[in-house]
Amino acid sequence: MKTFVPKPSEHKRKWYLVDANGKTLGRMATEIAKRIRGKDNPLFTPYYDMGASVVVINADKVRLTGKKESIKTYTWHTAYPRGLRSVSFKKQLARQPEKVIQEAVRGMLPRNRLGRKLFLRLFVYAGDKHPHTSQNPQPLEI
Protein backbone atom coordinates (compact mmCIF):
# COMPACT_ATOMS: atom_id res chain seq x y z
CA MET A 1 0.00 0.00 0.00
CA LYS A 2 1.10 3.53 -0.67
CA THR A 3 0.35 6.61 1.35
CA PHE A 4 -1.30 9.42 -0.61
CA VAL A 5 0.44 12.76 -0.14
CA PRO A 6 -1.27 15.75 -1.78
CA LYS A 7 0.85 18.15 -3.81
CA PRO A 8 0.52 21.85 -2.99
CA SER A 9 0.65 22.66 -6.71
CA GLU A 10 -2.60 20.75 -7.30
CA HIS A 11 -4.43 22.66 -4.55
CA LYS A 12 -6.92 25.34 -5.65
CA ARG A 13 -7.03 28.06 -3.04
CA LYS A 14 -10.43 29.31 -1.85
CA TRP A 15 -11.31 32.79 -0.63
CA TYR A 16 -13.68 33.44 2.27
CA LEU A 17 -15.34 36.66 3.43
CA VAL A 18 -16.11 37.09 7.14
CA ASP A 19 -18.27 39.91 8.47
CA ALA A 20 -17.11 40.60 12.05
CA ASN A 21 -20.12 42.77 12.89
CA GLY A 22 -21.34 41.60 16.33
CA LYS A 23 -19.23 38.42 16.30
CA THR A 24 -17.31 37.19 19.35
CA LEU A 25 -13.56 37.62 18.83
CA GLY A 26 -12.32 34.20 19.99
CA ARG A 27 -14.96 32.09 18.27
CA MET A 28 -14.45 33.97 15.03
CA ALA A 29 -10.64 33.74 15.26
CA THR A 30 -10.71 29.95 15.70
CA GLU A 31 -12.79 29.49 12.54
CA ILE A 32 -10.53 31.86 10.59
CA ALA A 33 -7.37 30.08 11.78
CA LYS A 34 -8.89 26.72 10.86
CA ARG A 35 -9.62 27.91 7.28
CA ILE A 36 -6.20 29.54 6.86
CA ARG A 37 -4.45 26.41 8.10
CA GLY A 38 -6.57 24.18 5.84
CA LYS A 39 -7.93 21.92 8.58
CA ASP A 40 -11.40 21.96 7.01
CA ASN A 41 -9.96 20.29 3.91
CA PRO A 42 -9.97 16.46 3.78
CA LEU A 43 -6.51 16.61 2.20
CA PHE A 44 -5.05 18.50 5.19
CA THR A 45 -1.31 18.00 5.51
CA PRO A 46 0.37 19.66 8.51
CA TYR A 47 3.56 20.63 6.68
CA TYR A 48 1.98 22.13 3.52
CA ASP A 49 0.19 25.42 2.98
CA MET A 50 -3.14 23.93 1.84
CA GLY A 51 -5.37 26.60 3.40
CA ALA A 52 -7.60 29.36 2.10
CA SER A 53 -7.35 33.14 2.12
CA VAL A 54 -9.70 34.99 4.46
CA VAL A 55 -10.94 38.57 4.17
CA VAL A 56 -12.44 40.08 7.34
CA ILE A 57 -14.57 43.22 7.16
CA ASN A 58 -16.11 45.39 9.90
CA ALA A 59 -13.24 44.64 12.29
CA ASP A 60 -14.18 47.69 14.37
CA LYS A 61 -17.50 46.05 15.34
CA VAL A 62 -16.10 42.88 16.92
CA ARG A 63 -17.06 42.20 20.55
CA LEU A 64 -15.88 40.36 23.63
CA THR A 65 -18.00 38.57 26.23
CA GLY A 66 -18.18 39.28 29.93
CA LYS A 67 -15.88 41.87 31.48
CA LYS A 68 -13.06 41.23 29.02
CA GLU A 69 -13.59 44.56 27.25
CA SER A 70 -12.38 46.42 30.32
CA ILE A 71 -9.79 43.84 31.48
CA LYS A 72 -8.02 42.66 28.29
CA THR A 73 -4.73 44.38 27.44
CA TYR A 74 -2.19 44.04 24.64
CA THR A 75 1.45 44.14 25.79
CA TRP A 76 4.69 44.42 23.81
CA HIS A 77 8.28 45.45 24.42
CA THR A 78 10.13 48.08 22.40
CA ALA A 79 13.55 46.40 22.96
CA TYR A 80 14.76 49.47 24.85
CA PRO A 81 15.26 49.63 28.61
CA ARG A 82 11.92 50.18 30.37
CA GLY A 83 10.25 49.61 27.03
CA LEU A 84 7.31 47.51 28.23
CA ARG A 85 4.16 49.03 26.74
CA SER A 86 0.53 48.04 27.01
CA VAL A 87 -2.80 49.27 25.70
CA SER A 88 -6.34 48.30 26.65
CA PHE A 89 -8.71 46.48 24.33
CA LYS A 90 -10.97 49.53 23.98
CA LYS A 91 -8.10 51.82 22.96
CA GLN A 92 -6.68 49.25 20.55
CA LEU A 93 -10.10 48.77 18.98
CA ALA A 94 -10.43 52.54 18.56
CA ARG A 95 -6.91 53.04 17.16
CA GLN A 96 -6.22 49.92 15.10
CA PRO A 97 -9.20 47.54 14.97
CA GLU A 98 -7.42 45.35 12.41
CA LYS A 99 -4.69 44.44 14.92
CA VAL A 100 -7.22 43.01 17.39
CA ILE A 101 -8.30 40.30 14.94
CA GLN A 102 -4.80 39.81 13.55
CA GLU A 103 -3.32 39.11 16.99
CA ALA A 104 -6.13 36.72 17.88
CA VAL A 105 -5.61 34.70 14.70
CA ARG A 106 -1.81 34.86 14.84
CA GLY A 107 -1.88 33.29 18.30
CA MET A 108 -3.72 30.27 16.86
CA LEU A 109 -1.30 29.60 13.99
CA PRO A 110 1.95 27.60 14.28
CA ARG A 111 5.00 29.50 15.49
CA ASN A 112 7.38 28.67 12.65
CA ARG A 113 8.08 29.51 8.99
CA LEU A 114 4.84 27.94 7.86
CA GLY A 115 2.83 29.97 10.39
CA ARG A 116 4.40 33.20 9.18
CA LYS A 117 3.56 32.27 5.59
CA LEU A 118 -0.02 31.32 6.53
CA PHE A 119 -0.55 34.61 8.33
CA LEU A 120 -0.05 36.48 5.05
CA ARG A 121 -3.36 34.96 3.85
CA LEU A 122 -5.36 37.02 6.37
CA PHE A 123 -6.72 40.38 5.20
CA VAL A 124 -8.51 42.52 7.81
CA TYR A 125 -10.35 45.80 7.16
CA ALA A 126 -12.08 48.13 9.62
CA GLY A 127 -14.91 49.13 7.29
CA ASP A 128 -17.18 47.15 5.02
CA LYS A 129 -15.18 47.80 1.82
CA HIS A 130 -12.26 45.66 0.68
CA PRO A 131 -10.13 45.45 -2.50
CA HIS A 132 -10.56 41.67 -2.97
CA THR A 133 -13.85 41.62 -4.87
CA SER A 134 -12.20 40.18 -7.97
CA GLN A 135 -11.33 36.99 -6.04
CA ASN A 136 -15.07 36.41 -5.42
CA PRO A 137 -14.77 35.44 -1.75
CA GLN A 138 -17.64 33.27 -0.58
CA PRO A 139 -19.30 34.37 2.68
CA LEU A 140 -18.34 32.34 5.73
CA GLU A 141 -21.03 32.08 8.41
CA ILE A 142 -19.58 31.77 11.88
Residue 97 and residue 135 in contact, taking contact as beta carbons nearer than 8 Å? no
57 bridge partner residues: 19
Q: What is the mean pLDDT of the chain?
A: 96
pLDDT at 141: 92
Residue-wise pLDDT for 49-107, tens only, equals 999 999 999 999 999 999 999 999 999 999 999 999 999 999 999 999 999 999 999 99
CB atoms within 10 A of CB 122: 22
The C-alpha atoms of residue 27 and residue 85 are separated, in whole angstroms, by 27
CA–CA gap between residue 9 and residue 88 (Å, rounded): 43
In terms of Cα–Cα distance, which of 30, 38, 53, 54 is closest to 6? 38
Closest CA to 119 of 35, 46, 13, 28: 35
Could you tell me the pTM of the whole model?
0.94
